[in-house]
Amino acid sequence: MATAKGNSKNIFIITFILIILLAIFTVRSFVTSLITAGALAYLFYPLYKAINKKIKIKNLSASIVLILIILVITVPLYFSLNAIAREAKLNYLNVKTSLELRNLGDSDCEGDVMCSLSSRLNELVEEPQIKFQIQNISEKATNYVTNLVYNTVISLPNFILNLFVVIFLLFFFIRDGPDMYTKLKQLSPLKKSHTEHLLKRINEVIYAVVYGLFLIALIQGALSVLGLYLFNFSAPFMWGFIMMFLSILPFVGPPLIWLPLAIIRILQGHSSGNNLFIFQGIMLIIWGVFLLGIVDNVIKPKLIGHKAKIHPIVILLGVLGGLKVFGILGIIIGPLVLAILVAFVHLYEEDKTIFVK
C-alpha cells in the first residue's frame, strides 16, 4: 500500500515536471512579453488603484489604464524610433563631411589658450589615422543604432503579435494583480515567514529597478532630448536615446555624451568667433549639471529611498546580458532577473531552512 502511494506520488511529480517543461517550451517565445507586461502593470498599478477608487468597476478601470498606456508609450515610441533612425544616418554623414572638408586652425593663436587648444584638437583630427578612427567609430555607432531601430520597425508582424500579447496580459495583470499575489503566497513551498520576507524583498527589487532605473532613465532621456533641442544641437533624439541608456549603467551616465558635445560646441564657437555657439555649449553644461544632476542625485534617492540597493555589478551585467538575450527590453529585464536571483540567494544565506514548512 505504501509502495503504491509512493509510486503515485513519484508519477505525479514526474508528470507535473514534464507539464511545467512543456508549458515553458510553449510560451518561451513570449517570455519577454510576459516580463514586459508585468513591469508595466507594476509601474501603472497605482494609477489603476486611483481610477478604480472613483469608478468602482474593475474592468472599466483596467481598460482606461490600458488605453492610457498604449497612448503614452506606443505613439511616442513609434515617432522616436523613426527620428532616431533618421538622425543616426544624418549624424554619420555630417561627421564624414566635416572630416573631409575640415580646414580650421589657420588663425594666429599666440597667447590664446582656448584658441591653441582648439587648433591642437583640429590638428589631431586632421591626422589620417585619427580621422579614420573617428569616422570608423561614428559609422559603427550609427549602424548599430540604425539597425536596432530598423530591426524593431521592420519586424512588424512579430512586433504586433508580441504587442497583442503584452496588451492582453497587461489588462489581467492590472485588474487581478492583488489576487495573483495572494495566490502566489498560498502556492509557495516555503515557510510562511520566509514567503513574506522573500516577496517583500522581491517587491523592493522590482520597485528599485522599475522606478530607480527605468523611470529615471526615461526622465533623463526626455530631458536630454529637450536640452539638446533647445540649444540647437544636432540629432537630439539619437543622443537622448544613448544618454537614456547610459543613465542606467553604473559609473558612467549622460555626462559621457553631453559634456563632450558642449565642449566641442564651445571650441567651435571660439575658433569661428561665434558667440552663439559658446552660449549654447555653456547652457548645455548648466542644463546637464543642474537639471540632469538633480534627477540623478535628488529625485532618484527620494523616489526609491532605502529600498533594495542593487549592486552596480548586478546592474552592469544585467543590462549588457539582457540586451544580448532579450534585445532592447533587456535593459530592464536583465537587471530585474539578476536582482531577484540575488534576493533569493540572500534569503537562503540568512536561513538554510528556507525550504522547510
Reported in sequence order, the residue ranges of 223-344 that DSSP labels E, i.e. its strands, are none
| Torsion sign over Cα 68, 70, 73, 77 | negative
User: Bigger pLDDT: 286 or 309?
Assistant: 286
Give 308's DSSP letter: -
Residues 56 and 161 grouped into a single domain: yes
Does residue 17 fall inside a structural domain? no
Task: Indicate the residue among 149, 177, 205 that finishes a domain.
Answer: 177
Residues 81 and 131 grouped into a single domain: yes
Residues 125 and 244 grouped into a single domain: no
CB 208 within 8 A of CB 310: yes
Neighbouring CB atoms inside 10 A of 101's CB total: 7
Residues 53 and 86 grouped into a single domain: yes
Most confident range (mean pLDDT) of 167-171, 191-195, 202-206, 296-300 is: 167-171
Say yes or no to pLDDT of 357 above 60. no
User: Bigger pLDDT: 153 or 269?
Assistant: 269
User: Bigger pLDDT: 21 or 128?
Assistant: 21
Tell me how far CA of residue 283 lies from CA of 69, 86, 151, 162, 189, in angstroms. Answer: 34, 26, 35, 42, 57
Tell me how far CA of residue 141 lies from CA of 134, 145, 171, 200, 237, in angstroms. Answer: 11, 6, 37, 41, 14
% of the chain surpassing 90 pLDDT: 3
Residues 193 and 172 grouped into a single domain: no
Does residue 66 fall inside a structural domain? yes
Q: Which domain holds residue 279?
A: 188-357
CB 261 within 8 A of CB 287: no
Does residue 234 fall inside a structural domain? yes
Say yes or no to pLDDT of 66 above 60. yes
Residues 333 and 196 grouped into a single domain: yes
Task: Indicate the residue among 147, 177, 207 that finishes a domain.
Answer: 177
Neighbouring CB atoms inside 10 A of 204's CB total: 19
Residues 173 and 202 grouped into a single domain: no
Residues 342 and 207 grouped into a single domain: yes
For 198-213, the pLDDT digits (tens) are: 777 777 777 777 777 7
Q: Which candidate, 300, 306, 302, 303, places its Cα nearest to that of 248?
A: 300
Does residue 100 fall inside a structural domain? yes
Cα angle value 183/188/190 (rounded, 5°) = 150
Which helix (H) or strand (E) is 147 found in, with range? helix 128-154
Return d(Cα 202, Cα 204) in angstroms, integer: 5
Return d(Cα 100, Cα 276) in angstroms, integer: 25
Say yes or no to pLDDT of 283 above 90. yes
Residues 143 and 205 grouped into a single domain: no
Residues 207 and 353 grouped into a single domain: yes
Residue 111: pLDDT band (50, 70, 90) is: very low
Residue 164: pLDDT band (50, 70, 90) is: confident
How many domains is the chain built from?
A: 2
Residues 165 and 199 grouped into a single domain: no
Residues 256 and 345 grouped into a single domain: yes
Does residue 21 fall inside a structural domain? no
In this prediction, residue 94 carries a pLDDT of 62
CB 250 within 8 A of CB 312: yes
Does residue 75 fall inside a structural domain? yes
Does residue 14 fall inside a structural domain? no
Does residue 298 fall inside a structural domain? yes
Task: Indicate the residue among 130, 153, 177 that finishes a domain.
Answer: 177
